[in-house]
Amino acid sequence: MQSSGAALSAAPHFIAYIGLGGNLGDVHTRLRQARDGMSLFPSTAVLASSPLYRTKPVDATGPDYINAVIALRTPLGPLELLSCLQALEIHHDRQRPYVNAPRTLDLDVLWHGGLQREADPLHLPHPRMLQRAFVLEPLWDVVQTLRCQPSRLDGLFPVLMAENLPDAGRRAILAQEQGIERLDQPF
């Protein structure tokens, strides 16, 4: 009989893109700890991380946000992954007093193996990811990193490609309208 860890390592793996953000407390440290925490999910590996971006709140209040995107290789299904991400948010003192409240840590499944899902609690791809510069710019960075390292993708289910994202002109307009700035700090 296989252990659950062995069974997961033998299961098909998917690429999942995760949006990370926060605007309360030591956000830089929390984002790094969250990224490192995701690598501890069962049979999951971080394939690529974007740089950090500072963003004005979109449909929210409070201080500026720090955002990033990472790509994971995982056998976890989308709802299992969401559950793990929400546990990580709680571990980092995430509270939800009202919609779009300032937060210590926000983790969103943006895309999972090409799956399309329109049911609560998770819609895939993320319904607003193509409208938000704080997602598009770091997502573009991660997609470009993976494009330059195709060996990391061998045997994985569908990968979000640059062709699926808005072009540079549209991304630049959104970035200017939404006040996003790439930070030179390591992630």
Q: What one-character DSSP code corresponds to residue 35?
A: H
Q: What domains are there in the chain, each with its CATH number?
A: 4-182 (3.30.70.560)
AA letter at 132: R
Q: Tell me the mean pLDDT in the region 66-85.
A: 96
Angle (CA) 139-18-184 rounded to 5° is 50
pLDDT digits (tens, 9 = 90+) for 81-109: 999 999 999 998 887 766 777 889 999 99
d(CA 183, CA 80): 32
Collapsing DSSP states into helix, strand and coil, what is residue 116? Answer: coil
d(CA 172, CA 82): 30
pLDDT interval class at 2 (50, 70, 90): very low
Collapsing DSSP states into helix, strand and coil, what is residue 90? Answer: helix
AA letter at 156: L
Collapsing DSSP states into helix, strand and coil, what is residue 88? Answer: helix
Q: Tell me the mean pLDDT in the region 53-70.
A: 91
**Residue 157, number of CB atoms within 10 A of its CB:** 15
pTM above 0.85, yes or no: yes
- Are the beta carbons of 114 and 157 closer than 8 angstroms? yes
Q: Is the pLDDT at 69 greater than 80, yes or no?
A: yes
d(CA 67, CA 69): 7
pLDDT interval class at 1 (50, 70, 90): very low
- Write the DSSP assignment of 139-160 as a string of letters: HHHHHHHHHT-GGGGTT-S---
pLDDT digits (tens, 9 = 90+) for 115-156: 899 999 999 999 999 999 999 999 999 998 888 877 777 666
> What confidence score (pLDDT) does residue 43 get?
95
Mean per-residue pLDDT over the chain, rounded: 88
d(CA 122, CA 172): 28
d(CA 138, CA 144): 10
